Amino acid sequence: MSEESSPLSCDNPLPTDVVALLPMRNLVLFPHVLAPVALGRPKSVAALQHAAACEAPVVLVLQKDAQEDDPGLSGLCSVGTLATVLQHKLADDGQAHAVCQGLQRIRIVELVEGYPFLAARIERLVDTGEHSTEAEAMAIQLRERGTEILSLLPGVPAELAHLLQGTRSPSELVDLAASLLDSDLSEKQALLETLSIEERLGSVLKIVSHRLEVLRLSREIGARTKEQLDDRQRRILLEEQLRTIKKALGENGEGAREMASLGEAITAAHMPPEVDAHVRKELQRLERMHDAAGEASTLRTWIEWMTEMPWAEPGERVIDLAAARQTLEDEHFGLARAKQRIVEYLAVKKLNPQGRAPILCFVGPPGVGKTSLGQSVARAIGRPFVRVSLGGVHDEAELRGHRRTYVGAMPGNIVQGLRKAGARDGVMMLDEIDKMSASLHGDPYAALLEVLDPEQNSTFRDNYLGVPFDLSRVLFIATANVIDHLPSPVRDRMEVIELPGYTLEDKLQIAQRYLLGRQLQACGLRADQCELTEAALHAMATGYTREAGVRQFEREIGRVMRAAALRVAEGSATHVRVDVADLEALLGPPTVEHDVALRSSLAGVATGLAWTPAGGDILFIEATQVAGSGRLILTGQLGDVMKESAQAALTLVKSRASGLGLPSAVFDHVDVHIHVPAGAIPKDGPSAGVAMFIALASLFSDRPVRHDLAMTGEISLRGLVLPVGGIKEKVLAAQRAGLREVMLPARNRKDLHDVPESTRQALHFTWLETVDDAIGAALGVRALAQEGDFKLV
C-alpha cells in the first residue's frame, strides 16, 4: 500500500450544493462517528481522490442491492451522511482505504452528470427535539444500559465505555450507540432516516434493552454449564479410579486387550529405536486416559498410523536388467533417452543397493506417456507403485500434513502414499508437479524441497507423524508439461528428462502395438471381429487429431471400435473392416487441416513455428499497410517479448530499404499492422522475430513468401539470427503441417540430432546466420543494409 505523499491538486471543484457520492455495500455511517472505508470501484476511488484534493466533504450512502456494481439514483437510499475524509491511502492494486467522520444527515435531491464519479445535489437535514426533557431522560437510560452491556462483553476496550459515558449530547449519544449495534443494514438505515431525536432514542433503547436481556441470560446459562462440567470432570476422575482398581484386581476388560493389540503392532512395525520409544510413551499416556476424553481418539488414530507405516528396512531385490529393459520396450515405443536413463539407474542400484535414489522428472506434452512410463518402471523393477496427484495443490499441509493439535488433522500426501504402497523402496509418481500454486496457506513448492533433495529426504518430517521418516530409498518420478515457471530450487533437485511429441510414424506404431488392442478389450471385441487398416489409422492421425501425444488418437480409435461393437452386438456383421472411405461415416468429416501447402502465397504472410505445452505448432504472421503516420499496430494478444520482436523486425526492414528496392520515405506515410490469427489465445516467446521480419519484408517489397516454407528464430538489431528452443517439437509440427522446407538459426544445428531420421529426410533445412540469409531463402533476393538509408547507433 502506498502512503499519500504529495497533495493532490483541485482542478475542477464542485458547486457548493453538489457533493461526491460514495455508494456503500455494507456500511451505514452515522454523524459524529469515525469509520474506516474500503473502496474498490473506480468511480468511488475517483470520488475519494477528488474530495481529498479539494478538501471537500463526501456523502456515504447505502446502496439497496449490494451486488450492483454501478448503482443509479434508484439503486441508492435517499438519506445518507455527509462526511469529511480524515485520512486516505491508495493501494498498489488500485483499491483505496480511508477514515471518514460523519458530519450531518443529508437527502439526495438528484444526481449531477459530467464527472468521472457519482455526484449529487443534496439537502441538509436537521434533527428535531434535541433539547427536550424526554430526550435527555432516555439518553441517561441508554448510557446506563450501554455501559452494562459493555461490562458483560469480554475483551471490550475500557476506552469505549469512557467514550459512552463522556458523550452528553442525546443526538451524538444515540448515533454512537446505533453505530455499535450488531443490527442488520436495513435497521441501521431506518435509524439514519429518523430525524426525531426522541423517536430515534426510543428505537435504539428498545434494541439495547433486548440485547441486555440476552446477555444476562447467556451469563446465567454459562454459570450453570460450568457447574455441569465440574460434575462431569468429577465423574471422569471417579471412573478413572475405578478402571485402575479393576486393573489391579485383574479385570482388564476390552480396553486392556486393545492396548495390548496396539503394543504388539508397535513391535511388529520394526520402528527405529527413538521412534519406537516415542510411540510407546504415547501408548502409556493413552492407557492412563479415559476413553471419553477428547484426545483419546486422536492419539489412538496417530498410533495406528505409526504402526501402519513401512518402517522396516526393505529386503534385497534381485534386479534383472535384461528383463527390465524388455518390459520397457514391450510397453512403450520410442522414448529411447528415458528408457536408457532408467536402465542406468537400475544398473547403479544393482551395484550399490544402499545408494540414494535420484529424482527423475519427465517433461513433455499431454499424452506422450509420462504417467504410464512411471508405472512401467515399477513393473520393470518389481516394486509397488503409488501415484500422488499434485494438480491444484495450494496448501503446504497437503504435502507435509497437519499438526495433531488441529481438529481433523491428517498426514500429508507423501505419507499417505507410502502407507498405501506398504514399502519404503517403492516408486512414487508426483504427477502434474507444475500445476501447484502458492496461497495464503503456504507454498507447497517449499515443502516439496525436502522431499526432492536426496541429501535431506532421509530425515523427512511430516507434521502429523512428528518424527523423521527415511525417503531416500523411494524412487520419485515427477511429471510436468512445462517447468519454466517452477522455482529454480525445485528444478535444481530433479533430473529433467524431456519426452517430446511423437512423429506420425511413431503414432502409427503405437496404435498398432498398444492402442488397438487396448480399445478392442475395452469394447469387448476380438481381433477377428474388427480390423482397422493402416491407411485408416494414417487418415485418423492426420485428419482427426492435432496433438503431440496419442490421447486424442486413442479416443478416435475408441469411437470407431464402439461403432463396430454396435454392429457386432446387433448381429448385422461378424467382421467389421474399417478403411479410409468408412471414416467420414463413422467420425464425420476431418476436423483438422494440416496441409498448409494448399494455401496460396501472399505478400505479407509468413509461416512461423511455435512451441506450446501441447507440442509444436505452426503460427501465421500477417502484415499489411494502410495510410497513416508511421505507427506500428500489433494485434492477436501478443506478449511483451513478441511486441519487442515486431519493433526490431520493422527497424531491420527499414535498415534494408535500399537493398529491397524501397525508398526510405515509404515508411513515413503508412501505418504497419501485424496480426497473429487466433486472437483469443495469448502468445508470447522469443522465436517469432525472423517470421515477423520476413512478413514485413514481403509486404514492402511485394514479394510473396513461399507457401511451403516455415521459419523460427529471434533477431537482433545487428541483423543476427539468434538460437531458440523447442527445435524438435517445431520441426515435427512443420512435418505434420505438410511443409517442405524449414529455416532454422545456424546455432541450432546441433539440436537437429534429436529430430527423428525420417523427419530429417522429409524436410529441407536452411540455416540462417543473418536476416539477409532469411530474405534470400524466403523471397529470393539479397537485401543489404545501406549506410545512407538507416544508421544503427
**Residue listed under C-alpha cell 525420417:** 758
CB atoms within 10 A of CB 320: 14
Cell digits of residue 583: 471414416
- Identify the residue whose cell numbers are 528383463: 323
**Cα(437)–Cα(594) distance, integer angstroms:** 36
Strand partners, 80: 106
Q: Of 641, 629, 633, 601, whose CA–CA distance to 722 is shortest?
A: 641
Looking at residue 196, the DSSP 8-state letter turns out to be: B
Spatial distance between the Cα atoms of 545 and 591, rounded to a whole number of angstroms: 8
CA distance linking residue 646 with residue 604, whole number of Å: 14
- What is the rounded distance in angstroms from the CA atom of residue 172 to the CA atom of residue 150? 18
Distances (CA, A) of 721 to 554, 688, 693, 718: 40, 11, 11, 9
Beta partners for residue 90, in sequence order: 2, 96
3-state helix, strand, coil in the chain (%, to 5): 45, 20, 35
C-beta atoms surrounding 512 within 10 Å: 14
Residue 273: which residues within 8 A CB-CB, separation 6 or more? none
Q: For the chain, how long is the longest CA-to-CA vector?
A: 112
730 is catalytic: yes
Catalytic residue among 44, 376, 687, 698: 687
Of 36, 142, 144, 20, the residue nearest 87 (C-alpha): 36
Three-state SS at 340: helix
Q: What is the dihedral of CA 466, 469, 471, 474, to 10 degrees?
A: -110
Q: Give the angle 458-459-464 at the CA atoms, nearest 5°.
A: 130
Residue type, 376: S
> Judging by beta carbons within 10 Å of its beta carbon (0-12, 13-18, 19+), is residue 562 exposed, middle or buried?
middle
Where does residue 427 rank: exposed (0-12), middle (13-18), buried (19+ CB within 10 A)? buried
What's the order of all strands across the beta sheet hosting 359-363?
A: 385-389, 427-431, 475-480, 359-363, 495-498
Q: What is the C-alpha separation between 484 and 486, in angstroms, rounded? A: 6
Decide: residue 646, CB within 10 A, 0-12 exposed, 13-18 middle, 19+ buried.
Answer: buried
* Alpha helical stretches, state H, 675-756: 689-701, 727-736
Q: Which phi and psi angles does 238 have, rounded to 5°?
A: -65, -40
Amino acid identity for residue 547 in this structure: E
Q: What angle do CA 375, 381, 385 make, to 5 degrees?
A: 35
Task: Note whether 556 and 528 are within 8 A (CB).
Answer: no
Sequence-distant (6+) residues with CB within 8 A of 751 are: 727, 728
Catalytic annotation, residues: 687, 730
